[in-house]
Structure 1
Amino acid sequence: MVVKVEKNINSEESSDLSRGKKNPYHESMGLQDERSSKQSATYSESTVTPEMFDKVLLCSGGRNESALRKELSEVSKLTPQSAYLKGSTGGKTRGKKQGGKRNVVDLRTLLTLCAQAVAADDRRTANEFLKQIRQHATPTGDGMQRLAHYFADGLVARMAGSGTQIYTSVINMPTSAADVLKAYHIYLATCPFRKISNFFANKTIMNLSAKVTRLHIIDFGILYGFQWPCFLQRLSSRPGGPPKLRITGIDLPCPGFRPSERVEETGRRLARYAETFKVPFEFNAIAQKWETITLEDLKINTDELLVVNCLYRFRNLLDETVMVNSPRNIVLNLIRKMNPAVFVLGIVNGSYNAPFFITRFREALFHYSSLFDMLEAIIPREIHERMLLERIVFGREAMNVIACEAAERIERPETYKQWQARNMRAGFERLPLDKEIMKMARNRVESSYHKDFVIDEDGHWMLQGWKGRIVYALSSWRPAY
């Protein structure tokens, strides 16, 4: 894969738009998703070759990611901005010279002051702060300048009172399928979060199903099923042969006349991989609001080992602040009634779900500062795919947190300790953290990724973070008897 050095993000975006390309992977990072009313039109995969899928999704022993990291390293050496890799600006950027001196602009403080003015409906003051922020914020600058650009967009949308409409137009912006698959590849190669999450879930399921002949995985939020090709590959080499595998892929319906088209396409792609690896395979597609799903819809058979998997998508379900009988708890109760052998849960460890805007804004600023700082340290600024990651994943999430309220705000993370309490109330007990999985994950992160990535454990949770800030957490559960 050739890494593209992008000098002008705006020209690239406009060319994508002029070609009318859809964004088949805009949720594929596994980091974010939208409710059904906000999902873009279904897509054709004709722009993405099977070889591209294989290179990104299949197990290569780390060779593909290693080659890409080397390529990115070469790019950073060639660019004059490579010195930024040594450290972050900490939110302060250089302004224009005044009297022979440069005045330092603290974008983090300006954003907070602007948010306070927006909350107070002081439009004049808010616009003054926005003007200052816009002078230094840019989607092509350093990490803090990029974050400020997207946070300012969110504040503008909130002030306009049209957050939902602007957010919807942002998430429906077309992007090349091949470009976004490359962005996902770069994310896997430079950041361990998704790679380790898939490893944790897949290894947990593999260990539990080592001797079974029939395995049923129910995946809440399957999206494009990027987690499963590598699992199928591993399953094919199981001693004694693979089991008969059934995957029930659950997602939200797409708008239009074919609400289940995307999840059905995921099933067809996984069936092709299963055929390649000679794994007996069946796929059931469910595209509806999760809280409306019943046990009968899931077609559970008693002769199968049942596993439930949900990585980072529970945060998009509404909680008690919107609905007393929240979809979050309804789905947990459904999972408990299924009585799975294991329920693998991955969560975004965030505190930016407060009902009060200023509190939420400050917490979101802390959270996304870490993520933009991470990208600043691991991917050169000029790489087009980094800009895609920032715009179509983190920028879009921030827009929703800042500009939307009530049921339209679908970014609602909780900390892993809050999830622990919620799961226990719902009748689950934690399973011990597998020491072998933890050791292998630590070794992989320490040997292949930036030194500031954190991998730790706390109370049977595997924690992943950046510079001491925990961003994601994984654990496994089963119904308490």
Structure 2
Amino acid sequence: MLMEEDIVDKFYQYTDHPKLLQAEQPFAEILSSSGITSSDVQESSILPPGYGNHTGTASMVSGFLPDEVHNPAFFLNGTVAPEEPISSTYMSMLSSMAFFKGMEEASRFLPTHDGLVDDRGRQNMFDIDGDPMEACLGRSSKEIEVLVHTDSKEEDTTVEMSDLLILYPSEMMKGRGDKAAQQSICRKAPRVRCSAWQMMVADLDTLLIRCAEAVANSDRRRTDDLLKRIKRHSLPTGDATQRLAHYFAEGLEARMAGTGWQLYHSITAAKRASIVELLKGYHQYMATCCFLKLSIHFSNKNIYNAVAGRKKLHIVHYGVNDGHQWPELLRWLAGREGGPPEVRLTGITSPQPGLCPAKQAEEAKCRLSYCARQFGVPFKFRAIIARLEDVHAEDLDIDPEEVLVVNNLFHFRTLLDESLTFDTVNPRDLVLNTIREMRPAVFVHATVNGSYSSAFFKTRFREALHNFTAQFDMMETTMPRGNSKRLLVERDVFARCALNIIACEGSDRVERPQNYKEWQAQNRRAGLRQLPLDPDIVEILKEQVREQYHRHFVINEDGRWLLLGWKGRVLYALSTWTADDASASQLA
């Protein structure tokens, strides 16, 4: 019967049944003997003590009663007036009154904890011993991303509540710490409906993904609404999630406005204007994060081993930048038994927006020449300012008596891929073919392990979000929030790359990393052969991570790759290669 559509009509046809009226009669006598009056009805309430007046409840109760109940003649000293016949309507009214009277009696036994019990006697959603997410949303964590429309008053309440959740996540969500402080925060948080709760606890990652989808669909209205919500809870000086959301929101906004390249250009120019501060941030980053330092040590130790017993060394470095890698190697070579070799360094630098590569190369030359003189190492420096794919083996003046080493630390991520070179050989293959023609003793290949080079924006955005989430979490764990150098590195390194990935397309998108497995296949196609990892070097680097860095840093081997990461996510990969037909004398 409960599954039938006319259940309501069928139910009410039994209300006048004699047996039903006979069963209800004892309850009517109990109610009559208890002396219920109209004033009792007006004063009854289902709210526990301390929850305001009862006016709203009285109105709610009276809404359940028939009109004749409000007639004073209907009740006489707690008994029914004799002239009124006992009807099913009257019996239904008495049952309703009994229900509310029982609720009032039961509410006296409900606990009260400074507002931590709601109007139905349940534990409040903000109880510090409970899980507010589960209390309101149940087990469906995906519902967290649901956005609903509310009126202006509820919207203001939602904003205030979400501010508390974002600004005080540990107090509001973890259920740990000072209990009095958490109760204080809970008292400030107004109670809202479950639908509003879903909106205000929507995490920033979900909002960013929804916003990226709106940008991809050119939905300006929804994009503006989501950006407004994201910006409300993101800032460059907050926690890791807030910082990431701040910069990613900037990228989405610039992409929607079509100003991504201009913004990327301005950040790059500002970076060069603060080179001194950037170097300070670089040293702070090296001290707390192992990725760059291990990569430099890996490269320098392999080069040092390659030149053992030889008198001349030629290093071809793609992306010489400031030359900060080489003083350490020059010092090692200066202390080598038998004296240092002659060192020739050729730096190949691509023109970049907002930078002056010729000036940068000249500064690197002066700095490294000074270091070499101090260490007593014969040193020559040459800079080539050109696109990497435009430099050929014959441009490098290769001397057969020299030990030739090719070095790349993450610079190949800026090479264009086949998505923009349909009718020609893509720049990556051109550069790898040039390296094979050089026939180096060692090609040190360090790559950013990222899969956010997809031509499809939404796929690229999701992958970039996962990768940079690990980067910002690493900074949050290893450096204090108030550290100005941390802010500098995040803005000028991470945010700059993320902005280009999100806001730029075509040739303007210069950040194009790929998975290390893809590089492995591409290197082999170009005629390069991967060399085994030196176990002594690997052990030294692993020991360095264990002794000097945070326990969440990861260093592992996969085949002939040395993988570096954070909390299980591989962020960088290191390997060594040589030409497939290299002679044994070159490998000595």
Smaller-chain TM-score bracket:
0.7 to 0.9
Of 290, 298, 303 in structure 2, the residue corresponding to residue 192 of structure 1 is: 290
State the 1:268 CA deviation.
1.7
CA gap 1:256/1:139 in 2 versus in 1, 3 angstroms: closer
Of 204, 227, 230 in structure 2, the residue corresponding to residue 130 of structure 1 is: 227
CA gap 1:371/1:400 in 2 versus in 1, 3 angstroms: same
2:540 maps to a residue whose letter is M
CA gap 1:146/1:259 in 2 versus in 1, 3 angstroms: closer
Q: Which protein has the bigger helix share?
A: 2
Of 431, 455, 459 in structure 2, the residue corresponding to residue 359 of structure 1 is: 459
1:117 aligns with 2:214: yes
Instruction: Show structure 2 runs of 5+ residues with no match.
Output: 1-167, 175-184, 582-588
Write the mapping of 1:137-286 to structure 2, written as runs, cut at 5 A.
Answer: 137-173=234-270, 175-253=273-351, 260-286=358-384
Per-residue CA deviations over 1:10-62 (Å, capped at 9, x if unaligned) read xxxxxxxxxxxxxxxxxxxxxxxxxxxxxxxxxxxxxxxxxxxxxxxxxxxxx
1:336 aligns with 2:436: yes
Of 383, 386, 400 in structure 2, the residue corresponding to residue 302 of structure 1 is: 400
Per-residue CA deviations over 1:378-405 (Å, capped at 9, x if unaligned) read 0000000000011000001000000000
Q: Distance in 1 between matches of 2:190 and 2:432?
A: 59
CA gap 1:256/1:458 in 2 versus in 1, 3 angstroms: closer
Corresponding pairs, count: 393
1:318 aligns with 2:416: yes
Q: Distance in 2 between matches of 1:255 and 1:112?
A: 29
- 8 Å Cα contact 1:242/1:279 also seen in 2: yes
State the 1:97 CA deviation.
3.2
State the 1:265 CA deviation.
1.9
Q: Distance in 2 between matches of 1:210 and 1:100?
A: 72
TM-score, scaled relative to structure 1: 0.79
CA gap 1:254/1:417 in 2 versus in 1, 3 angstroms: closer
Per-residue CA deviations over 1:423-451 (Å, capped at 9, x if unaligned) read 00000110000100110100000111000
Q: Distance in 2 between matches of 1:471 and 1:164?
A: 26
Of 384, 388, 397 in structure 1, the residue corresponding to residue 484 of structure 2 is: 384
Considering Cα pairs closer than 8 Å and 6+ residues apart, tell me whether 1 or 2 has the greater RCO: 1
State the 1:259 CA deviation.
5.1
Of 427, 434, 453 in structure 2, the residue corresponding to residue 327 of structure 1 is: 427
- 8 Å Cα contact 1:190/1:449 also seen in 2: yes
Of 203, 221, 229 in structure 2, the residue corresponding to residue 106 of structure 1 is: 203
1:228 maps to a residue whose letter is W
State the 1:279 CA deviation.
0.3
State the 1:177 CA deviation.
2.8
Q: Distance in 2 between matches of 1:97 and 1:243?
A: 70
Aligned CA-pair RMSD: 2.2
Aligned to 1:407: 507
Q: Distance in 2 between matches of 1:129 and 1:256?
A: 32
State the 1:179 CA deviation.
1.7
Q: Distance in 2 between matches of 1:401 and 1:105?
A: 25
Write the mapping of 1:57-136 to structure 2, written as runs, cut at 5 A.
Answer: 97-99=189-191, 103-136=200-233
State the 1:178 CA deviation.
2.6
Aligned to 1:14: none
Q: Which secondary structure state, in structure 2, belongs to the residue aligned with residue 463 of structure 1?
A: strand
- 8 Å Cα contact 2:268/2:355 also seen in 1: no
Q: Distance in 2 between matches of 1:410 and 1:196?
A: 25
Larger Rg: 2
State the 1:261 CA deviation.
2.3
CA gap 1:316/1:256 in 2 versus in 1, 3 angstroms: closer
Q: Which secondary structure state, in structure 2, belongs to the residue aligned with residue 455 of structure 1?
A: strand
- 8 Å Cα contact 1:218/1:309 also seen in 2: yes
State the 1:262 CA deviation.
1.4
- 8 Å Cα contact 1:253/1:288 also seen in 2: yes
- 8 Å Cα contact 2:349/2:357 also seen in 1: no
CA gap 1:478/1:387 in 2 versus in 1, 3 angstroms: same
Aligned to 1:436: 536
Aligned to 1:291: 389
- 8 Å Cα contact 1:250/1:263 also seen in 2: no
State the 1:254 CA deviation.
6.0
1:133 maps to a residue whose letter is I
Instruction: Show structure 1 runs of 5+ residues with no match.
Output: 1-80, 88-93
State the 1:165 CA deviation.
1.5
Q: Distance in 1 between matches of 2:420 and 2:470?
A: 28
- 8 Å Cα contact 2:244/2:468 also seen in 1: yes
Aligned to 2:545: 445
Aligned to 1:15: none
Percent of aligned pairs with the same residue? 50
State the 1:257 CA deviation.
12
- 8 Å Cα contact 2:314/2:404 also seen in 1: yes
Q: Which secondary structure state, in structure 2, belongs to the residue aligned with residue 98 of structure 1?
A: coil
TM-score, scaled relative to structure 2: 0.65
Aligned to 2:474: 374
Per-residue CA deviations over 1:215-257 (Å, capped at 9, x if unaligned) read 1000001101110011101110001110011111110236799
**Greater alpha carbon shift after TM alignment, 190-199 vs 256-265:** 256-265
Q: Distance in 2 between matches of 1:163 and 1:98?
A: 40
1:472 aligns with 2:567: no
Aligned to 1:26: none
- 8 Å Cα contact 1:254/1:260 also seen in 2: no
- 8 Å Cα contact 1:350/1:414 also seen in 2: yes
Q: Which secondary structure state, in structure 2, belongs to the residue aligned with residue 260 of structure 1?
A: helix
Per-residue CA deviations over 1:354-387 (Å, capped at 9, x if unaligned) read 1100000000000000000000000000000000
2:527 maps to a residue whose letter is G
